[in-house]
Structure 1
Amino acid sequence: MNRNLPHPFGKLARALLLGAVLACQHAAQAAITEADFLDEMPVVLSVSRLSQPLNEAPAAVTVIDRDMIRTSGFRDIPDLLRLVPGFSVAYTRDNTWAIGYHGMADAFSRRFQVLVDGRSIYGSAYGAVNWGELALSIDDIERIEVVRGPNAATFGANAFLAVINIISKDPSQTPGAFVSVQVGEQGMSGLTARYGGGNDDLRYRLTLSAQTRDRFETDAFEGVNAVPVKLYEETQTYFLNGRADYRVSATDEFSAQFGLTVGDWQAGHSGNPEEPGGQDVSAQFLQLKYRRAYNADDEWMVQAYFSRNNLDSPNQPELCFDTVESEVVVCPDGLPSPPRYVATGQRLEAGIDQLQTRLNLEFQLNRRLAPDWRMSLGAEVRHEAVESQRYFDTQDKLDGTLGRAYVNLEWRARPELLVQGGAMLEHHYFTGTDVSPRAALNYTLAEGHTLRLNVSQAYRSPTFFEQKGNQNYYTTSGTPVLQVIAPSDPLRPERILSREIGYVGQYPALHMQLDAKLFHDTIYDYIKNRGTPGQFENRDDFTVRGGDLQLNWQPVPEMRLSAQYARAFIEADPSIDKDLAQSAPRNTFSLLARYDLGQGWTASAGVYRSGRMKWLSEGDITQAFTRWDARLARRWIWQGHEVEAAVVGQNLGEDYQEFRDTNIFSRRVYGSLSLGW
């Protein structure tokens, strides 16, 4: 082994070397068949839009399946990403989540493409992923495919660090009625009711859900003097989701989905009375898809969807600008309140309105060109619009249209060598035209053991807020007195050049799968807010390097274990962003184990370890922590109905900080009961 290899690569390099040695050893064990292995190699769709076994995909992928979702005990979708190597997950505030992959993590998760059944939920206004507004029950998820690395060649701008593709259950998988109830500590309760039905040609499902959460301890302490504050984070969210699939003919199928969400979310804390005290949320979407499939390799699809997300803060306190202290404060009582002006002794508008809409049309064609050639190509056009007088200082609608076209090719050059390449051509309303290419080689060392080389480039376009954000306070005569956010000069998109070497191995004798990768990424034109007034600008380049390791093991039929480990380093000059180098925890680790105890009983445990890190934007430094979760459940048949009862303990160890030093996640327990018939 090369002793000059950079130290963060050491452990992963040894894992790759071990995999290659074991591959040669196990190649001779012809008596062991795939049936002896814990599972077949998972098939994924999210990397090149071609159906591929995990070891033939051109990038690293983590699959979170139904069994992992259930045994984890998680009831919020972002929590499931703790099962992906290299991911950092934290609840922030106002029913929002922060998610990072190898650092650069902030409150908006701006560098991910998140899809639900092919529908993008990436917010164009601020880049936020609106997890709390998803009209999707965790009980309706079939699996989640996470592409660990840039994937703009397939999904365009904002598939910058990773793609999170959430795939819901087909209506044929959800026949009959289903009810699930959860009740627990820390204000946690949930009710989900679903009904699925139909016939051979028409299948449908309808899901109704109500969820209540109160994430952290209400009483907290802030600052070096331990000033007591109260956090208000209780949320109530209700949604209705429906899907229907109609088989038009032996080759054609039409699918329709819709979702409606409303929520009453508390927000803010007593230490900052000028912040909104609550939010009224509403979101809607409609998605239509027509698909013609001649066989597994020859099909085409056209899809259209519309989404609308609205956020109101009707209880926003009335604010004044104190010209003596040069700060915004809560207005004293008994003062006049002109509509949207602020000055000493004058009031600012109450309420924050944010409205985002998206209309998207997409076409995709998959075709086998020859016995050794496959292709996926497509095109997409999207119109996005944003309205927010508070954050853009205008009553006008801000909007833009982007267009993209892509192609991905797969060539079986030799039985052991798979060559793949692709590119996305995209024109964005802010940054113009860019091309995001990718090239990959998958080489089979021996049966079940594959090395992967991957080089790709991706872009992240600036959000409306980064490019056109404009927040001002005025006197009653219209004179500006304070500018908090100023529009930016034309921004260039962030660009990432990613290089990785990976290994995927199957070990039938050990009933184990191993997935490891080393990566070296360079990020160019990093977009950063430069102070007061806030204005975004492009900064210099920096590098991120390290590796991921993922292991699935089933030593006996009754036990399944999934382990993930990641090590990452960010090398960035402090002038780019003084907190950037600390935004990646040096080490992250997770372990989920499940054991079948017999007679319907199952026990599972999860361990989640994160190193010390600094959350960007409004986050704080959070110390290293280890979280322990456990679940005990039993399934049985009662009067012909399938019943499952479970008790889940979360964070059974010490309390830890999440995103902010005031956000204390404490020990909590909840019970769950589900009934299907």
Structure 2
Amino acid sequence: MLKVSLAATAACLSFQLSSPVFASTDFSDLLDMPLETLSETKVVSATRSSLSLADIPAAVHVISSKEIQRSGARSVADALVLAPGLHVAKFSNYDWGIAARTTNESLSNTMLVMVDGRSVFNGMFSGVDWDLIPVSLDNIDRIEVVMGPVGTIWGGNAVNAVVNIITLDAEDATRRHVSASVGNYNYREYQLHHGGQVSDNLYLSGYAEFVEHMPWTSDEEKVQPMQNYRVYTERFGMRGDYQNMGRTVSLQLGGIRSREDYLWGYYQPHFLNPGHDGPDFASFDTEMLAEEYFAGVKVLQELADDRQWEQQFWLTYSSSDSADRNAYFTRLDSETRYSDANVLGGHLTVGLNYRVIDEYFRPYEQEEIYTSPYVRVADESGFVNQSLAVYMNYSYPLTDTTELMVGNRWQYFNLVDDTFSQPQIRVMQDLGDNQRLWAGWGRAVITPARQGRTTNFHQNAYGSDVSFCEAGNVNNCLPWTFDYLQIIENLGNEDMPVPTVDTYEIGYRFWQGQQLQFDANLFYSEEESIPAWHLISATRDYLPGNSSPGTAGTIVDIYKYQQIAPLSSITYGGELSMKWQPSSVLQINAGYSYRQIEADCHGSVCASSDGPLRSYENEPVHLATAQVMWDITSQWWVSNVVQYVHGTKPDPLVGDEEYYGWPDVLTWDFIMGWQPTKHAPNFTLSIENLFNDQVNEFPSNYGGFDNGTQYWVEVDWQWP
């Protein structure tokens, strides 16, 4: 069975020549845009207050709208390649695994992803659905990436990084803009963006987008029979911003809907269908639907020059009918924040957060559980998941050049009926007008989820007329053949501890006007209660009769695994990043990161082998990326993005390097733009994986797909 994964990149936008941030400016003005100085770059994701990047005691990287547009990215996941420290690996044409300072998995629960402070983290499955982020690339003002723990500010899952996608205010959004893209692998995309002023104090903006594409850009034989499949994605969004007398009110609503063709089916064991001699697997084409919709309001009131109050409400509905996550949820988030910049000479922020999630897993019939290729089954279909948090953060100037930051969050989760503390302490030293040195420590927790606790994942395989032979000796087999059903049950464990991570960091920041920005930081993390699967039973049953013709019965093997927490680890490394603009027409961005994982294992699961911990340590150590943007003339520009991931050589206990090792990956994306005249349409040619066709970025045991060279042409026009 081959299942087409949801393809969100498709839903995301292709490269746009005219940057929405400068929608009302001439294209020539955009070409001459210099780097902002660090003191001009404002960041909110590290402290919940708008501070200059130069004054934040944390490893923060900002991806600007121009850098996104010039990268050829068609999704948020593609754009995150530009952030040092993030391992972005493409699984199939439009699926990714993204990790920060830890192992890379399809669902990573140690990185919190948000849009304007609204979480897009799927708490039911403890990860991010990168193909279901309801945001338009053309509406992004910047992406703020904070490496390290930010649990004090944002709560659970803000463990190794926070990614906050900041969208444009309605006043700055793109106006009267249409575009169309077409490329190989049946890629096509259409977009419409518009906005404007309704009254003296009110602005509105909105967009609608449609994308169609193949699920794979692969020449692999296994996908060729299904290359007629398609993924269709629609995305829309609206925003209204009202400002008057120190009060700002923002209203947002939007959503994404992804329809995907894929192959599905059911096994037909003969002992469950006596007298029926059909195929072992009854396959059929069907469609999978995944969608997410949201609405929210944010009120910001300036109480005085140094005091402000903010209130947010977000309502989110998300659903999927995929067998591994056939479920839906409705989530309400409420956030109250008060900030005072003059409390005993320091800056105090306090907040209250409440979240309630009405979760529902679809129930399955017993036969369906054991005849589907895989299904996720919940102990109880419905559950109301709640969390309540109170937090405070305080910054105080110890001297004219030294700033101290302390804070804590106390967060209660009803799933485990427990409260957790997430403290932090940071200090920054001003070394001059353009240099900062900072250090910090923080603790964060991974939000408990029903996945791995109160849900079971079943994987099944069936074949008829199977021979049973001695292991490693095909010449010594039983004289009869059998039908064979294998059942693997991955059982949840309600007693799983909640993982915690402590991280120590030190960093240095330097900038030179509008020409150079440089950041360097080192980190050391300690993680406890890392989950792993433990075999608790293996049984074999023999069922005589009612088997396929010529066989001696049916053999049923049942393997039961349960999630436990035997692992702990230390991870250390660092990140380097640079933005350099030697002239107004050339900008070079570069990043490098190093990470080393050393794991330890406790308990009976590790008594006989170090395999589990060696497997956890098997992750790429070196990551590097570079972006070069060159404005050749006022009409022509080119951009290049190069990504490198160093492969791994796993310990022999893990398995064969060719099968379990992460491959060396070197990709080159080339983008070229042309605008013949000031008011003419913009033309963009993008090529992904240039000179490197059919790249697989995952170990073979992950089952990742080869990714081919993709190219597409986009025409976009902003009429006067």
TM-score relative to the length of structure 2 = 0.77
Partners of 1:195 and 1:557 in 2: CA distance: 30
Alignment of 1:529-608 (within 5 A): 529-531=533-535, 532-573=559-600, 574=610, 576-583=612-619, 585-608=620-643
Deviation at 1:55, TM superposition (A): 2.5
1:75 paired residue number = 74
2:213 paired residue number = 213
Quick check: 2:97–2:106 contact (8 Å CA) kept in 1? yes
1:164 paired residue number = 163
Confirm whether residue 499 of structure 1 aligns to residue 504 of structure 2.
Answer: yes
Say which is worse superposed, 602-611 or 255-264, in terms of deviation.
Answer: 255-264
Distance 1:519 1:275, change over 3 A: farther
Confirm whether residue 653 of structure 1 aligns to residue 691 of structure 2.
Answer: yes
Q: Deviations over 1:422-453 (max 9, x none)?
A: 11110012331110011111111222111111
Q: Deviations over 1:67-98 (max 9, x none)?
A: 10111011111111111112111333595431
1:13 paired residue number = none
Partners of 1:454 and 1:275 in 2: CA distance: 55
Deviation at 1:460, TM superposition (A): 0.4
Confirm whether residue 255 of structure 1 aligns to residue 264 of structure 2.
Answer: no
2:382 paired residue number = 397
Q: Deviations over 1:611-664 (max 9, x none)?
A: 115999xx96431111011111123556xx463211111111223213354511
Quick check: 1:230–1:269 contact (8 Å CA) kept in 2? no
2:16 paired residue number = none
Opposite residue 247 of structure 2, the aligned amino acid is: D
Q: 1:490 aligns with which of 473, 492, 495?
A: 495
Confirm whether residue 44 of structure 1 aligns to residue 43 of structure 2.
Answer: yes
1:643 paired residue number = 681
Quick check: 1:254–1:289 contact (8 Å CA) kept in 2? yes
Quick check: 1:220–1:230 contact (8 Å CA) kept in 2? no
**Secondary structure at the counterpart of residue 138 of structure 2:** helix
Say which is worse superposed, 173-182 or 69-78, in terms of deviation.
Answer: 173-182
Distance 1:39 1:429, change over 3 A: same
Opposite residue 420 of structure 1, the aligned amino acid is: M
1:465 paired residue number = 451
Alignment of 1:171-570 (within 5 A): 171-174=170-173, 176-197=175-196, 198-214=198-214, 216-220=216-220, 234-247=230-243, 249-267=244-262, 278-294=287-303, 297-313=306-322, 353-370=326-343, 372-388=345-361, 389-390=363-364, 391-393=376-378, 396-431=381-416, 432-471=418-457, 484-508=489-513, 511-531=515-535, 532-570=559-597
Partners of 2:177 and 2:315 in 1: CA distance: 28
Opposite residue 546 of structure 1, the aligned amino acid is: G
Distance 1:364 1:102, change over 3 A: same
1:31 paired residue number = none
Partners of 2:456 and 2:199 in 1: CA distance: 54
Deviation at 1:252, TM superposition (A): 1.2
Deviation at 1:219, TM superposition (A): 3.8
Q: Deviations over 1:516-558 (max 9, x none)?
A: 0011111111122334424222123211111100001011111
Opposite residue 301 of structure 1, the aligned amino acid is: E
Q: Deviations over 1:113-160 (max 9, x none)?
A: 111011111111111212222221111111000001111010011111
Quick check: 1:94–1:267 contact (8 Å CA) kept in 2? no
Partners of 2:500 and 2:238 in 1: CA distance: 38
**Secondary structure at the counterpart of residue 235 of structure 2:** strand
Distance 1:275 1:96, change over 3 A: farther
Opposite residue 40 of structure 1, the aligned amino acid is: T
Say which is worse superposed, 186-195 or 619-628, in terms of deviation.
Answer: 619-628
2:13 paired residue number = none
Quick check: 1:108–1:129 contact (8 Å CA) kept in 2? yes
Deviation at 1:354, TM superposition (A): 1.4
**Secondary structure at the counterpart of residue 583 of structure 2:** coil
Distance 1:290 1:507, change over 3 A: closer
Distance 1:481 1:568, change over 3 A: closer
Gaps of 5+ in 1: 1-35, 317-350, 475-479
Quick check: 2:150–2:161 contact (8 Å CA) kept in 1? yes
Alignment of 1:109-120 (within 5 A): 109-120=108-119
Q: Deviations over 1:3-37 (max 9, x none)?
A: xxxxxxxxxxxxxxxxxxxxxxxxxxxxxxxxx99
Partners of 1:56 and 1:212 in 2: CA distance: 44
Deviation at 1:414, TM superposition (A): 1.6
Q: Deviations over 1:248-299 (max 9, x none)?
A: x311122111113222113469999879964112221111111112467421
Quick check: 2:298–2:313 contact (8 Å CA) kept in 1? yes
Alignment of 1:54-73 (within 5 A): 54-73=53-72
Q: How many residues align?
A: 590
Highest Rg: 1 or 2?
A: 2
Partners of 1:518 and 1:126 in 2: CA distance: 31
Q: 1:625 aligns with which of 658, 665, 670?
A: 665
Quick check: 1:635–1:642 contact (8 Å CA) kept in 2? yes
Quick check: 1:218–1:232 contact (8 Å CA) kept in 2? no
Partners of 1:297 and 1:379 in 2: CA distance: 20
**Secondary structure at the counterpart of residue 69 of structure 1:** helix
Partners of 2:637 and 2:408 in 1: CA distance: 46
Distance 1:495 1:79, change over 3 A: same
Quick check: 1:137–1:192 contact (8 Å CA) kept in 2? no
Quick check: 2:422–2:444 contact (8 Å CA) kept in 1? yes
Partners of 1:154 and 1:73 in 2: CA distance: 32
Partners of 1:265 and 1:595 in 2: CA distance: 38
Quick check: 2:91–2:696 contact (8 Å CA) kept in 1? no
Quick check: 1:178–1:193 contact (8 Å CA) kept in 2? yes
Say which is worse superposed, 596-605 or 365-374, in terms of deviation.
Answer: 365-374
Partners of 1:231 and 1:524 in 2: CA distance: 44
Quick check: 2:112–2:158 contact (8 Å CA) kept in 1? yes
Partners of 2:325 and 2:333 in 1: CA distance: 27
Distance 1:228 1:312, change over 3 A: closer
Partners of 1:481 and 1:398 in 2: CA distance: 31
Gaps of 5+ in 2: 1-32, 266-279, 365-375, 461-484, 536-558, 601-609
Partners of 2:664 and 2:93 in 1: CA distance: 24
Distance 1:160 1:238, change over 3 A: same
**Secondary structure at the counterpart of residue 55 of structure 1:** helix
Opposite residue 690 of structure 2, the aligned amino acid is: L
